[in-house]
Structure 1
C-alpha cells in the first residue's frame, strides 16, 4: 500500500482508537488533513524508513488540532530487516517509549523540585512484533524540528560546545537510571531484563569473529606500516583480537556498581541540538534501538572517539570528561536527595576514569567500521542494502578499505589515544579482572 494511504487509512485510525491524541475511545474524531512525505536521512539512519506527517484532527465540538509527527517504520525488505536486526531494535525502542520513559517520568514526577529538562521527544505511538496497522514495527514521535531541535551541521567531528552539551545531557540520562537503580531496584532490573540483545542478523559466531577481527586490525596494520607505535604492544593486542567477538561481549558485560542503562548508539546521528543565537544550548536523544545495560563507558567511548577529532581530544579530553562527571554526580545527588560527598565512594571521578580505561576499547571496535561511513560522502559509503545479499566476510572486507587512508589514519589516532590512557594494557588484562 502507498505510504500516504497506509498512514491515512490504517495508522491514524489505529492511533485514534489507541487514544494517542488524548482522546477517549468514544469521542468522534475527523481527519481534516493528512500529508505524508519521505524524509531523506542519508547516513543518519540505516535501520528504518522515516516519514514526516502533517496531521490535522477535528475532535467533536472542538477546533481542529495540528500535529507534526516523525514516523519511524521498519524497512519493507524482509532480507534487509533481518540483516539490520530491526525486530530486536524496534522491540527495544518500543520498550523504551512504552515502559521505560513513562517509568522515568513517573519517578521524576514524585520529585517535583527536580527540573532536568526534556531528554526525550514525545511519543504518540510505538508498537513492535505484532501486525501494527499493517506494519510490524513503528514508532511515532513529535517532530522536534518544529521546536527548533536539529542535527548538527557537522556530520562527524563536533566542536567543544556541541560535545559539552551532548555529554552533559548524557550525564543526566545516566544519572536518572542510576537513581532508578538505587531507589526502585527491583522494578528497574525487571525492566532491564526485557531488553533484547542484538543478534547481528543471525550471523554465526565464526562470521562475527571474522568481521570484528578484520575491521579492528585496520589501525594496527596502518600503525605497523608506519612504525608509529610500539610493535610489542601491537603484537600483544592481536592476541585478544583473535577472539574479537568474545572481547566485544566481555566489554559489554555489566559490572557493578557503575553498570547503567546506556543509550547504546550514542553519537551525533542520534542527538538533536537546540540552539540560541547559533550556539548549542540543549540536546534531546532519540533512536533507542541499541539500548543496553552496560558500562557508561559504552556510550562515552563511542561518542568521544567517533565525534571528536584527535586535536580536540588532545586539548580538551579532561575538560569534556569533567563536564560529564560533574553533571552526573550533581544530578544524581539531587535525585537521591543526598550530598555529592556521599556518592564519591561509588561514583567518584576516578571510578569513572577507570571504567573508561577498562571499557574504552569498545568505542574503537565500533568506530573501526562506522567511522569510515561518516567520514565519506553518502555515495561512497558501503551500501548496506546491497550488502545484505552478500556474506558478512564481504562486508568486513568492504569496511576494511572504506574511507581509504584517511579513515585508517583516524582509527590509528584512536588507538594511540587509548594507549596514552593505558586502555590497551587494560584490554590485554581484561580477562583477569572482569
Structure 2
C-alpha cells in the first residue's frame, strides 16, 4: 500500500461518493470538511479540504480516550453516516453499486494488507497479550489467542471480504485523531469526520467495533448493550428521515449477529491502537525517521513493551472478548 493509493482513496470518497449523499439530504449528512479540489497526477497528489478550525473544531487529546458522552455522540454520528449508504442503496441500487465499485482496495485484498510490517505489528501485540495470561486457569484464553495467531490472515480476511447484503460505506479507521471536536461552554456539540483513506464497504459492525473498543475505556465494556442500542437507534431514526424503514431491511437482531461476527476487528485494532493512543506525543517516534533509518516500523505504532496501565487495559479487553465469545 503506497501513499498514492491512500490519496486516491480519500479523493474518491470526497469527490464522488459524498456528493451523492448530499443529494439525498445535504443538511443531514454528518459534518465533514467541504471538498475544494484535488490533483491525482502521480507523485504530485493533492487533496484540498475546507479548514474547519474556523468553525471551532479542534483535535482532542488522544490520551484522554472517549468517555460515555463522547462515545455515544460518535456512534450516533456514524449511525447517521451509515444510514446514507442504506438509503442510497435502496433508492438507487444501480448508482450505489457503481459508486462502491470505484473504491480503491488499499487493504490488500484478502489478506487485510498483511504485509510483513502489518503482520509483525499484530503478532507482536498478540505475543504480549498471551504473556498476560499465564496462570493455569487461563488455558482457554491462551488457546483462543493462539488460534488467532495461527489463523491471522484468515481472521483478517473476514473483515474485508464482506459478502452479506448489509454492507455500508465505512470509515475503517475511526479513532479519535481522525475526528475534530467542537464544544459550546465545555459541552460537546458537534464532530467533524476526517481521513477517509481506508474507506471500504463492510458491515456496520466494523466501524462500531473500532469506535467502541479503540476509543472507549474498559469501564464502558459492561454497558455494551446500551451502546449497541444507541447506535442502532441513530441508524433507525436517520434512515427514517431519509425515507427508509431500516427495521424492514436490517433489523436489530441482524445487527447483533454481525456484531458477534465482527467485534474481533475492534479487538485486533485495539491491540495496536490503544497502546499508541496512550503514548504522549513527545514519546511517539516519527514514522518518517523510522523508515529512513531502516528501523522496525512497528516501533512507530507503539508495539514496544506495554507499561502496567496499558497491560491491564489489554487484559480487560481480552477478557471482555472471551466472555462474549467474540474471539
Give the alignment's TM-score, normalised by structure 2. 0.89
- 1:164–1:91 distance in 2 versus 1, CA, 3 Å: same
Query: In 1, distance between residues paired with 2:58 and 2:165?
Result: 35
- CA gap 1:311/1:179 in 2 versus in 1, 3 angstroms: same
User: Map of 1:310-389 to 2, 5 A cutoff?
Assistant: 310-314=218-222, 316-335=223-242, 337-338=243-244, 340=245, 343-389=246-292
Shift of 1:387: 2.7
Q: CA separation in 1, counterparts of 2:269 and 2:285?
A: 15
In 2, distance between residues paired with 1:391 and 1:411? 29
The alignment status of 1:219 with 2:129, answered yes or no, reads: yes
The change in CA–CA distance for 1:193 and 1:321 in structure 2 (over 3 A counts) is same
- Residue 298 of structure 2 is aligned to residue 409 of structure 1: no
Task: Summarize the Cα distance change of 1:396–1:147 in structure 2 as closer, same or farther, 3 Å threshold.
Answer: closer
CA RMSD of aligned residues (A): 2.6
In the TM superposition, residue 407 of structure 1 has moved relative to its aligned partner by 2.3
Note the residue ranges of structure 1 that are not aligned, 5 or more in a row. Answer: 1-81, 110-114, 425-434
Gap runs ≥5 in structure 2? none
Shift, 1:422, TM fit: 1.8
Counting helix residues as a fraction of each chain, which structure ranks higher? Answer: 2
Higher percent of residues as strand: 1
Q: Of 168, 176, 197, which aligns to 1:289? A: 197
For 2:156 and 2:63, locate their aligned partners in 1 and report how far apart those are by CA, in whole Å. Answer: 26
3-state DSSP of counterpart to 1:92: helix
Quick one: which of 128, 134, 155 aligns to 2:63?
155
Cα gap change, 1:284/1:231 in structure 2, threshold over 3 Å: closer, same or farther?
A: same
Distance 2:78 2:267 in 1: 19
Structure label with greater radius of gyration: 1
In the alignment, structure 1 residue 185 sits paired with structure 2 residue 109: no
Aligned partners of 2:188 and 2:64: how far apart in 1? 16
TM-aligned CA distance change 1:139 to 1:368, over 3 Å: same
Aligned mates of 1:377, 1:403 — CA distance in 2: 14
Q: In the alignment, what sits opposite 1:39?
A: none
1:317 and 1:360, CA in 2 relative to 1: closer, same or farther beyond 3 A? Answer: same
Question: How many residues are aligned here?
Answer: 323
Over residues 94-151 of structure 1, what are the superposed CA-to-partner deviations in whole Å (9 max), with x where a residue is unaligned?
0011111111112326xxxxx41542111111233x05xxx62222122111111222
1:91 match: 8
Q: Does 1:101 align with 2:18?
A: yes
- The answer to whether 1:299 aligns with 2:211 is no
CA distance in 1, matches of 2:306, 2:44: 35
> By how many angstroms is 1:260 displaced?
0.9
CA shift at 1:390, angstroms?
Answer: 6.6
Aligned equivalents of 1:379, 1:204: Cα separation in 2: 29
Q: TM-score, normalised by structure 1?
A: 0.68
Aligned to 2:65, the other structure's residue is in SS state coil
Aligned residue in 1 for 2:140: 232
SS at match of 1:198: coil
**Who is 2:187 aligned against?**
279
Candidates 313, 324, 327, aligned match of 1:421: 324
Whether the aligned pair in 1 keeps the contact of 2:9 and 2:103 (CA below 8 Å) is yes
Greater Cα shift, 274-283 or 299-308: 274-283
